[in-house]
Amino acid sequence: MSAQLETSQQLSDLLKQHRKATDEQGVVDVDTRKRRLQTAIDLLVDHHEELCAAIDKDFGGRHTGFSLMNDILGSLGSLKHARDNLEQWVGSESRQVFSPYDQMGAQAWVQYKPKGTVGIMGTWNAPLFTLFSPLASVLSAGNRAVLKPSEVVPHTAQVLAKIVAECFDPLDVAVITGGVEVSQAFAGMPFDHLVFTGSTEVGKKIMRAAADNLVPVTLELGGKSPVIISETADVREAARRLAIAKGMNGGQLCISPDRIYVPVAAQDEFVSAFCETYSALYPTVEDNPDFTAVVNVQHLARVAGYVAQAQEEGAEVVRCPDVPVPAVGRKHPLSIVINPPLLSDIMQQEIFGPALVLLTYSDVKHVVQEINQGERPLALYYFGEDEAEQNYVLNHTLSGGVTLNDALMHAAMEEAPFGGVGASGMGHYHGRDGFLEFSHARTVFKSAPVDPRGEWGMLPPFSEHFTPGLITQVTR
């Protein structure tokens, strides 16, 4: 069978081979896991130029520097962390035996066993990171994997499939390419675990398809990640950091700041400082190689439609840099939409592009209430120096992760879980938490040499000592 998969039948055949190989192999030792992780590391290092060029082609303009930083180095960080810490994660853990068997020689421990084969469905906005970062956790747990790159980035998918086929034994890691129909079939395959990164609506469909085979899922979705600027914050510094974050990948990140709450009195200062930084980073748009294009015309039309509707309904729109919208191409200046109507599309839908909502407030408790009225976001950001207020926000909200006085940073923590909650996803990867996510925790109990139950009258025929009053005596 070809190592490059293109049909669901080929994938089905491969999964059967994976299952057979898994059952025959037994224990997946540390050296095997490290070898697989190192193969992934070498693949990215040796082929980074080819992969970055493919991403640039798919986007119609994404600087190699960003692809290197986000997709190549981000993935390498996850893979190297798993490789270098693997020996601390594997092995069994002793557990306390219940009384009185703990005094009689009984033992118990938990094994962390590979689940088998994990399917990983990546997304287009970080086409390598959303495959290789979870792959680090999958391989560290001793599993095999099949990767499904997004059909929205076909050049990247084809290049990756070719490289993986050259570098990996398909019984360790394989790639399947194809369109929506292949993705739909992929989600319905009998994997031992399934990872999906993408929108909440598609995530629901993935979960339904996986349920037919009772496949556990890790869903990394999105949401309208909110930012709270406290009255105690350095407004200009907060604006600077948020402008940097929002410019990353043209706003096409799952944890990109989506709506920013600013005190009423700080609105003008924030907008001025934000535009100053953003325009310094991207003084031009149309022919600027540093500016990431919107991935396709459909996404561009969607974002532009959100902005136009809000403006028609009375919202103020500030563009930065303050340049005309290009007539051609998919690079558009950022639109800051100020206080749009609550029911407008830009307030209800995840933006995922070069636009941002700015909302003014007078009471931070009302901001928290408004955030809690929506779906749980993947990320939440707070800027301020009031520890009591910071703790109020942390204690009264729920999100996938939090960064304080900056944005995006929590996702770079390799020794801390990355994942969503509620509509923003379930499960997580990174570090030991990812190792546990893709391991089966199996309890093993080793009995004591003797069985005292008969002597204690705990076997039929039960004696008169077993009466309802016994429970009261024991528990009190």
Q: Is 387 tagged catalytic?
A: no
Active site residue 52: no
DSSP assignment of 287-319 equals T-TTSPPPSSHHHHHHHHHHHHHHHHTT-EEEE
Residue pair 432/85 in contact by the 8 Å Cβ criterion: yes
Distance, CA of 332 to CA of 320 (rounded, Å): 10
Q: Which whole-number Å values give the CA distances from 408 to 80, 323, 392, 405, 429, in the listed order? A: 21, 27, 21, 10, 16
Which entry of 52, 254, 275, 320 is annotated as an active-site residue?
Answer: 254
- 3-class DSSP state for residue 369? helix
Which residues make Cβ contacts (< 8 Å) with residue 141, sequence separation at least 6? 112, 114, 115, 434, 435, 436, 437, 438, 439
β-sheet bridge partners, residue 336: 318, 356
Residue 257 structure tokens: 């700041």
Catalytic residue among 52, 220, 275, 437: 220
| Residue 374, number of CB atoms within 10 A of its CB | 14
Q: Which of 335, 329, 350 is nearest to 271 (CA)?
A: 335
Amino acid at 121: M
3-state secondary structure of 392: helix
Q: Which residue type does 63 have? A: H
**Residue 427 and residue 424: Cα distance in Å, rounded?**
10
Active site residues: 220, 254
